[in-house]
Amino acid sequence: MDELMLDGNAVAGLLREVFAVEMTTAVAVCDGCGAADAMGATRVFRGAGIVMRCPHCDNVLATLVEAETRMWVGLQGIRTLYVADLDTGEQ
Amino acid sequence: MARAALLGRLTWQRAEVVDIRVETARAKTLVFAVPGWSGHRAGQHVDVRLTAEDGYRAERSYSIASAPDGSRIELTVERLGDGEVSPYLTDELRPGDAIELRGPVGGYFVWEPTDGGPLLLVAGGSGVVPLMAMLRVRAAARSDVETRLLLSSRSWDDALYREELEGLSGTGLRVVHTLTRSQPPGWTGYARRVDAEMLAEVGFDPAERPRAYVCGPTPFVESVAAALVALGHDPQAVRTERFGPTGG
Amino acid sequence: MSIISRGFRGRRSDDVDPSRIPPGQYLTSDFPVLSAGPTPHVPLEEWTFSVVGEVDEPRSWTWDEFRELPSEEITVDIHCVTKWSKLDTRWEGVSVDTLLDGIETSAEYVLELAEGGYTTNLPLDDVTGGRAWIAFAFDGEPLAPEHGGPARMLVPHLYLWKSAKWVRGLELRATDEPGFWETNGYHDRGDPWREQRYWGD
């Protein structure tokens, strides 16, 4: 266990800038071990860019590289991303 | 209503300091006016961005300490000795100064009264900030959800929100402190790091299916979350927010 | 147009010759720890370093064999793509020229192979001719695990993501193969003096 490790909550703001909905509650199915976890519960490491890893098997789920007005989102290890909070426009 | 808070404006916005309150020797609460703030949920945070005159930038995340209150939000910041941002926020900022912030963000580590309970909140140091927002929202809603807060602090003087927590206690809320480095004379409470035994004594029985929120430095969160699961709590019902090596 | 925060300076020191700081970088006096994953801990008895790929014969060294190779002390400036630069850092390491000495190859590229699957790619030219080392000591002490110990790559003329921590081998290649960060937004070469941080820079 690394002291420096964070969790998906730490990148909530970054993800929100790219995706139209709150992403920490989105559930990612890991293509390494099949576990399904909320993005907020993933392990986050800060390297040259951000690496999100499966909390069960450490597989890289996603990478985020931010460059001022550009962002690269790698979804390498997410087999499926399930979003339950879509805004249908209803009040 | 909740959805509006989730889909609030997510660009950097100007926030002006309107008030500063001393909490402890190390921590201050900063009150910001954020024009157009569309509200937030307890447990959410903001990303704070500071830009120096030469363009150098630093960004950090801070949990919102307050319950929704129009266009005002409060952040409680603890000064980390070797920090780059926290000493600026606690020692330099004055009413009238401005920072940039982005938020509110977070949907995983949030609680609202309609989520129900029983509610177990476990905090290490400044990890109590988002949990305090939950307690303040709970109080504002006059909720009687059965709640227990276990707060681990270095010493009594370092324990955040002591008086307010005492005032909130009793309305279905039980607050337990553990002081890990030094205790005041006559202290009869816990005087060690949070462990499984303490969690079993203070927390709810797994059969009551509590919702648990654990926040603080990464090692603290790892240890407490593991202990709760080992005690029989459903891992999916234990939500965590890690602050990194030393806290916020 | 961002808001300037009155009085904010950050943890920077700036009494230095500006020509030593590449564009967009800021000087730091501490040594930030950045990592793509958990810190690996490889027991020295199990550690090996290998040169594989486009070579007539792959080579491999155990830790003891590696430490018997001639090494050198170097003082270099290092630059991280996350914008911090650190000057006059002292290292001890084995030159990559030493490891490749006598190897016959037609390779033009290398891929650094590190613990946990991290990779980063460079032209072979960028790691030869006295420009790269496998470093095992920093500031006179054995390299700490959080900084890449027991041994990491050191290629100071490029951004630091091109210097893989916990390096375990070099794969010599005829073709360029983008590594971990190069596949995900970072520049293929990473020259800090030309500010080659991201794709398209």
pLDDT in tens, A4-27: 899 999 999 999 888 878 899 999
ipTM: 0.91
CA distance B156 to B177: 9
* Site from B105, B222, B246 to mutate, A interface, most A CB atoms within 10 angstroms: B105
Q: Is A89 among the domain residues?
A: no
Q: Is A55 among the domain residues?
A: yes
Contact indicator for B32, B18 with CB cutoff of 8 Å: yes
pLDDT tens digits, one per residue of C29-72: 889 999 999 999 999 999 999 999 999 999 999 999 999 999 99
Shared domain for B118 and B84, answered yes or no, is: no
Contact B239 A40 (CB under 8 A): yes
Question: Mind giving me the DSSP string for B60-94?
Answer: EEEEB-SPPBTTEEEEEEEPPTT-SSHHIIIII--
C16 pLDDT tier (thresholds 50, 70, 90): confident
Considering only the beta carbons, identify the residue of B7, B105, B239 that sits closest to A12. B105
Shared domain for B121 and B96, answered yes or no, is: no
CA distance B98 to C4: 8
Task: Find chain C residues with C-beta within 8 A of A4's C-beta.
Answer: 33, 35, 146
CA distance C113 to chain B (A): 28
Number of domains in chain A: 1
Question: Mind giving me the DSSP string for B97-139?
Answer: -EEEEEEEE-SSS---GGG---EEEEEEGGGHHHHHHHHHHHH
Task: Find chain B residues with C-beta within 8 A of A1's C-beta.
Answer: 218-219, 222
Provide the pLDDT for residue A2: 77
Residues in chain C: 201
Provide the pLDDT for residue B145: 97
Shared domain for B140 and B89, answered yes or no, is: no
Tokens 């005087």 found at: B191
Q: Is A90 among the domain residues?
A: no
CA distance A76 to chain B (A): 22
Contacts of A82 (CB under 8 A, 6+ apart): A26, A27, A28, A29, A36
Shared domain for B94 and B124, answered yes or no, is: no
Q: Domain range for residue A32?
A: 6-79
| Chains adjacent to C (≥3 CB pairs closer than 8 angstroms) | A, B
Contact A1 B105 (CB under 8 A): no
pLDDT tens digits, one per residue of A34-86: 999 999 999 999 999 999 999 999 999 999 999 988 999 999 999 999 998 77
Contact indicator for B106, A12 with CB cutoff of 8 Å: yes
pTM of the entire predicted model: 0.91
CA distance C8 to B127: 25
Burial code (b: 16+ CB inside 10 Å, e: under 16) for B13-32 equals bebebeebeebbebbbbbbb
SS3 C172: strand
* Site from C8, C21, C35 to mutate, B interface, most B CB atoms within 10 angstroms: C8
Task: Find chain A residues with C-beta within 8 A of C182's C-beta.
Answer: none
* Site from A60, A71, A75 to mutate, C interface, most C CB atoms within 10 angstroms: A60
Contact B108 A41 (CB under 8 A): yes
Distance from chain centroid for Cα B22: 16
Shared domain for B56 and B162, answered yes or no, is: no
Strand order in the sheet with A60-67: A6-7, A43-46, A50-53, A60-67, A70-74
CA distance C148 to chain A (A): 12
Provide the pLDDT for residue A89: 55
Contact C4 B12 (CB under 8 A): no
Considering only the beta carbons, identify the residue of A2, A40, A87 that sits closest to B3. A87
Considering only the beta carbons, identify the residue of C38, C184, C186 that sits closest to A5. C38
Contact B50 C10 (CB under 8 A): yes
Q: Is B248 among the domain residues?
A: no
Contact A48 C198 (CB under 8 A): no
pLDDT tens digits, one per residue of C87-140: 999 999 999 999 999 999 999 999 999 999 999 999 999 999 999 999 999 999
Contact C34 A47 (CB under 8 A): yes
Q: Domain range for residue B39?
A: 2-105
Shared domain for B173 and B63, answered yes or no, is: no
Number of domains in chain B: 2
SS3 B206: helix
Closest CA to B84 of B118, B55, B58, B61: B58
Contact A25 B61 (CB under 8 A): no
Task: Find chain C residues with C-beta within 8 A of A67's C-beta.
Answer: 185, 197-198
CA distance C166 to C75: 20
| Chains adjacent to A (≥3 CB pairs closer than 8 angstroms) | B, C
Shared domain for B126 and B154, answered yes or no, is: yes
Shared domain for B151 and B212, answered yes or no, is: yes
Shared domain for B52 and B139, answered yes or no, is: no
Q: Is B247 among the domain residues?
A: no
Within 13 Å of residue C1, how many CA atoms lie on the same side as its CB?
A: 0
Shared domain for B62 and B79, answered yes or no, is: yes
Residue in A with minimal Cα distance to C39: A2
Of B48, B71, B105, at which residue does a domain stop? B105
Shared domain for B204 and B237, answered yes or no, is: yes
Provide the pLDDT for residue B246: 67
Provide the pLDDT for residue B6: 47
Q: Is A87 among the domain residues?
A: no
CA distance C13 to B245: 24
Q: Is B67 among the domain residues?
A: yes
As a 3-state breakdown, chain B gives helix, strand, coil percent values, each rounded to 5, of: 25, 30, 40
Task: Find chain A residues with C-beta within 8 A of B242's C-beta.
Answer: 5-7, 9-10
Q: Is A88 among the domain residues?
A: no
pLDDT tens digits, one per residue of B179-208: 999 999 999 999 999 999 999 999 999 999
Q: What is the mean pLDDT of each run of 10 residues along chain B (248 residues)?
A: 48 95 97 93 97 92 97 96 92 96 94 96 98 98 97 98 96 96 97 98 97 97 97 96 76
Q: Is A85 among the domain residues?
A: no
Q: Is A33 among the domain residues?
A: yes
Contact indicator for C26, C8 with CB cutoff of 8 Å: no
Q: Report chain C's mean pLDDT, rounded to a whole number.
A: 95
Token pair of B193 as six digits: 């790091």
Provide the pLDDT for residue B2: 47
Shared domain for B91 and B36, answered yes or no, is: yes
Q: Show the CA angle centred on residue B142, arms to residues B137 and B146, nearest 5°.
A: 85
CA distance C36 to A72: 16
SS3 B93: coil
Q: Is B20 among the domain residues?
A: yes
CA distance A64 to A47: 10
In chain C, the domains with their CATH numbers are: 48-71+92-194 (3.90.420.10)
| Chains adjacent to B (≥3 CB pairs closer than 8 angstroms) | A, C
Interface of C with B in 15-44 (CB under 8 A): 26, 30
Of B59, B76, B105, at which residue does a domain stop? B105
Looking up residue B97, the CATH number of its domain turns out to be 2.40.30.10
CA distance C155 to C179: 15
